[in-house]
Chain A
Amino acid sequence: CPCLEYCCSNLESGLLPGQWRHNSRMKLIDMSKFPVERIRNFSIIAHIDHGKSTLADRLLEITGAITKTQKNKQVLDKLQVERERGITVKAQTASLFYEYENQTYLLNLIDTPGHVDFSYEVSRSISACQGVLLIVDANQGIQAQTVANFYLAFEAQLTIIPVINKIDLKNADPERVENQIEKVFDIPKEECIRISAKLGTNVDQVLQEVVKRLPPPTFNREDPFKALVFDSNFDQYRGVIANVALFGGCLSKGDRIVSAHLGKSYEVNELGLLKPEELPMERLYAGQVGYVIAGMKEVKEAQIGDTLYHQKHPVEPLPGFKPAKAMVFAGMYPMDQSDYSTLRSAVEKLTLNDSSVTVQRDSSLALGAGWRLGFLGLLHMEVFNQRLEQEYNASVIVTAPTVPYKAILSSPRLIKHGREEITIVNPAQFPDRSLVKEYLEPMVMGTIISPDDYIGKIMSVCLNRRGIQKNMVYIDDHRVMMKYLFPLNEIVVDFYDHLKSMSSGYASFDYEDAGYQAADVIRMDILLNGKPVEELTTIVHRDRAYSAGKAMCERLQDAIPRQMFEIAVQAAIGSKVIARETIKAFRKNVLAKCYGGDITRKMKLLKKQAEGKKKMRYIGTVQVPKDAFINVLKRKDK
């Protein structure tokens, strides 16, 4: 193989991967020399921190895609937050050339996001594969995300190779983990490969097994061109870079292609392999994986799951495409309104790379102009916020997350004009009970895996969160896997942290979308001296109204400074007050002090207070400082 020869010689001469693309000799690679029989497409899936990225690095090193240096840790994780939190948010892909029994194979490692918030992305990545490496930590064993990931692969009918990682750890117990795998996933324990990605132990065996066990893709070069978009990135200079898997035919530079979802046509300017750096090629063939640049200007034009085809040969789009669906919403406002335009451009830049965030302009009387952003899930939201803060240095107020409720309208008049079912993102738009036949709330199926010592506590927490137990099995002698159906709203705030702290960090949790379910939800208003505070209106379940109302009143009581008169802080449902706290009036506010003629300081202080009053929100005569709103609305810090 000319390519392999080239790669190896390059490695020996110490060239870095990035330098390859500048070398015209690369045109020597003839991708037609890799028929589907010598292609394997696979993903690595794992619970957080079980070593997915480390294994990926080792595979890249062994196959010469990257040089082996200390600095090369976790090449695939590009984002700062990814490295910090040990998770992968944005999938990366690498084509590896691997020689096995005197044949050179093209192994396409299609990396997946490491969290089920991105389960749609994971499912699309997985659908480009024929098999997965399911990594499990030899010490921790199966965790919630392992299960969720397993089912995604299992349902896609992929070949699963279980890999037990970190066998070098002192407390590693691979045998126990093998038993768990056999019990939970029904995979014979003999099929497990024990490795240490950190030390490189048995990593070569993993590659051999990929070649041996995974089936090659079954696509045909003679078919019309058809490709799945499984990821996309935005490059400031080159536009959208779509990562594609060819499900049939071949694609050449200059071809005119069409995206099935939007029906727009494009000319292919550049295409090639990801190593993981882009390596331009003349042509890609069925079963291969690579990137395409075709003059797309927004990531929305290359949505994940979309199908590309030749303009002249339209094809049936691949199944499973869904536009991104926001499950968690939060308000986002600049800390200082003068930062609005800076923040706007930061949000725009971030959404260029992440089409799954929905952005809606919003404005709050208390917090000013901002946005209501929709995210795929909690982690997605956190990642977005962190990127905003770290990469763009933006100081933002993020409100506590809410979920999208639905209402089935009863009034025929309303149905005539609009849809029968409306989605409520902003509590202020909550339709009145009298207009509504039924309210619906989003549900999730949660998986909790924990040592059995904590079962009692976990069950009571889940019950408190309106969780309904669906299943409970022992995955080994003292580890239990529980399935609970939760209202999403109950887990969006601090559930995971609570679970973690309650189980000394041993319980793991993951969830997947479980549709909508009828729920007795109501609108709760917060009143200050009888006047409603619009931005504090919330939608709550009737059973939770009292405790939510009381908590809100207590937080407000602490956050609103005492004033010259007494303030009643009330939570109300309709006209019925369900909770009340009182902020007592202060009795004196005058500084009895001699200034010795130094009135400058006093004047400064008063002027500052006067300036502050301009920004103060008045509810009736009650002054509510912005800080108070921030304290009450803000997501609690972890």
Chain B
Amino acid sequence: MLKTFLTACRGPVLFVGRGFSSDVSVGVSKLAGFSSPTLSSEASLYVHWPYCLRRCSYCNFNKYIPRSDNQDVMSECLQRETETLLRLSHVSRVTSVFFGGGTPSLARPSTIAAVLETVARHAALSESAEVTLEVNPTPILSSKLQDFLHAGVNRFSIGVQSLQDEDLKVLGRDHTSQHALETVGEARALCPGKVSVDVMFGRPGQSIASWELELDELLSVCDDHISLYQLTLERGTQLFSQVQKGQLSVPGDDITAIMYESARKILQKRGYLQYEVSNFAKNGAISQHNMSYWKASQYIGVGPGAHGRFIPHGEGACREARTQTLEPEVWVREVQQRGHGTRRRIPLQHLGQLEEVLVMGLRLIDGITHQHWQFFSPGADLHQIFSSSCEVQDLQQRDLLILDNRGLRCSWQGLAFLDSMLPNLLLQLEEMFFVVHDRFSCVYSTVLS
């Protein structure tokens, strides 16, 4: 199923539009045999809605409780920034759109529609392109979900988090399990097969048994996609200080490890294939948008605090890590004055780009294929870089990492240790990068310029 999907999304989309002009180099044309998500002519789009009704006790994300109704200004500015950045990127095709937050389901459907229309005016946005909206399962009028659908949304990602009402209260969520189940039902009715649920483990007071039961219950109502997140205690959150003070306790590392492992087993048994550390899908319902992150494709971030990775053709020839201004009010002012609120631009040098390819790619169950790697690193293949490393050999011997003729990837058990393996892999990459630096850089520059 997974295969079918991947084949399906490899459309004949190479070399369309302005990004690749007639001076396509030899280095690139060699790559023409496979679809690359990194073409500078296409990108996915992330739109950040920074507002929430209330603050969740665990969340340190960029979100604000709105003080006044500023829907019109927000709508206007999101459109304006989308337009500016699309122009800057010279992107001719937007492969997916994701409305995240915050609580983007608090936005008016008309705002969503307006942003999508803006996208369509400046780049190709095909009917089949995935357009996801994060939904907070508060008692939401089912008509609103329908309105979002009409606005152009074709996938809902629902932040269920838990089916235990007590836990939802501790997490500071403003919904109950009843609301969550209803919202999932409504969403499924509107977009069958295109609904994802987020669920969280490692919550205060959670036990392995209760987690397994809860997952079971969730699987009986959910659709084809599920994301598992481990609760992380972030400094500065209410939950963090409650745990510091001993008012709450979260399960230890060994317990959360078992929770993760048992969830992976349960999901597998129920037909959900794990395709990434946190993501599981059946019937090929993989999230295209998230996939573009793992594949190090270009993405444009719009809205306060949004992140992007793309080549601003108007301003340089190198891919940049870009961050928009965090505070909504300041961001609004900047967008009104300059057309965008880009606060920080960090050029991604070749090594930096390869590091992201490695770190993101290994989160996928399929890892990094040779072709994928070669696109970014035509000068040195995965074997050349990693085979000589004692650490890599040791990891291979312990069945945690696989380097074969498909590419580099974690084994099933190795995926759970990825963060321990990455520092060594990054060091090896850096070392070999400088060894073969000349070869690397000259070819690379022809690829991405």
Contacts and interface: CB of A to CB of B under 8 A. Distances in A.
A binds B: yes
Interface of A: 563-565, 586-600, 602-603, 606-607, 609-610, 612-614, 621
B372 to A, nearest CB: 17
Contacts of B323: 600
A588 B277 contact: no
Contact of B278 (A593, A610, A621): A593
Interface string B318-354: 0001010000000000000000000000100000100
B419 A591 contact: yes
Given A592-B260, A607-B426, A587 B420 contact: no
A609 B425 CA distance: 11
A63 to B, nearest CB: 62
Contact of A590 (B308, B352, B415): B415
B230 A593 contact: yes
Contact of A597 (B228, B257, B258, B308): B308
Interface string B151-195: 000000000000000000000000000000000000000000000
B205 to A, nearest CB: 19
Given A599-B307, A612-B423, 15 more contacts: A589-B419, A590-B415, A592-B228, A592-B229, A593-B278, A594-B227, A596-B48, A597-B301, A600-B321, A600-B346, A603-B359, A606-B422, A607-B426, A613-B427, A614-B427
A614 B423 CA distance: 10
B124 interface: no
B46 interface: yes
Given A594-B227, A600-B321, A610 B417 contact: no
Given A597-B308, A610-B427, A610-B430, A589 B418 contact: yes
Interface string B213-238: 00000000000000111101000000
A564 B410 CA distance: 14
B293 A595 contact: yes
B261 A592 contact: no
B416 A590 contact: yes
Nearest to A587: B257
A412 B147 CA distance: 98
Residue picked from B230, B290, B306, B420, most chain A C-beta under 10 Å: B420
A322 to B, nearest CB: 53
Contacts of A595: 293
B306 A597 contact: yes
Interface residues of B, number: 50
7 contacts: A589-B416, A590-B417, A592-B260, A592-B278, A594-B198, A602-B359, A614-B427
Interface in B386-420: 394, 398, 400, 415-420
A588 B417 contact: yes
B293 A597 contact: yes
A587 B352 CA distance: 29
A192 B306 CA distance: 83
A589 B419 CA distance: 6
B117 interface: no
Contact of B423 (A563, A591, A613): A613
A588 B260 contact: yes
Interface in B413-449: 415-420, 422-424, 426-427, 430
A586 B256 CA distance: 11
A609 B423 CA distance: 6
B272 interface: no
Top 10 A-B pairs ranked by shortest CB distance?
A587-B257, A588-B257, A610-B423, A609-B423, A610-B426, A590-B418, A592-B230, A597-B307, A588-B416, A589-B420
B232 A606 contact: no
Given A587-B258, A609-B423, A596 B232 contact: no
Contacts, number: 103
B203 to A, nearest CB: 13
B46 A597 contact: yes
B69 interface: no
B23 interface: no
Contact of A606 (B230, B254, B359): B359
Contacts of B427: 610, 613-614
B256 A621 contact: no
Nearest to A565: B398
A599 B293 contact: yes
A594 B398 CA distance: 28
B381 interface: no
Contacts of B430: 610
Interface core residue of B48, B416, B423 (most chain A CB under 10 Å): B423
B344 to A, nearest CB: 9
Interface string B96-122: 000010000000000000000000000
B394 A588 contact: no
A613 B424 contact: yes
B129 interface: no
Contacts of A588: 253, 256-257, 260-261, 416-417
A607 B346 CA distance: 16
A605 to B, nearest CB: 9
Nearest to A600: B321
Contacts of B417: 564, 588-590
Contacts of B258: 587
B356 interface: yes
Nearest to A588: B257
Contacts of A613: 423-424, 427
A610 B256 CA distance: 25
Contacts of B424: 610, 613
A612 B426 CA distance: 12
A606 B423 CA distance: 6
A609 B424 CA distance: 9
B31 interface: no
B14 interface: no
B76 interface: no
A587 B230 contact: no
A361 B266 CA distance: 60
Nearest to B344: A600
B293 to A, nearest CB: 6
A495 to B, nearest CB: 36
B46 A594 contact: no
Interface string B284-325: 000000100100000101000011110000000000010100
Contacts of A591: 230, 232, 277, 419
Nearest to B228: A592
Nearest to B400: A564
A583 to B, nearest CB: 13
A604 to B, nearest CB: 11
A586 B423 contact: no
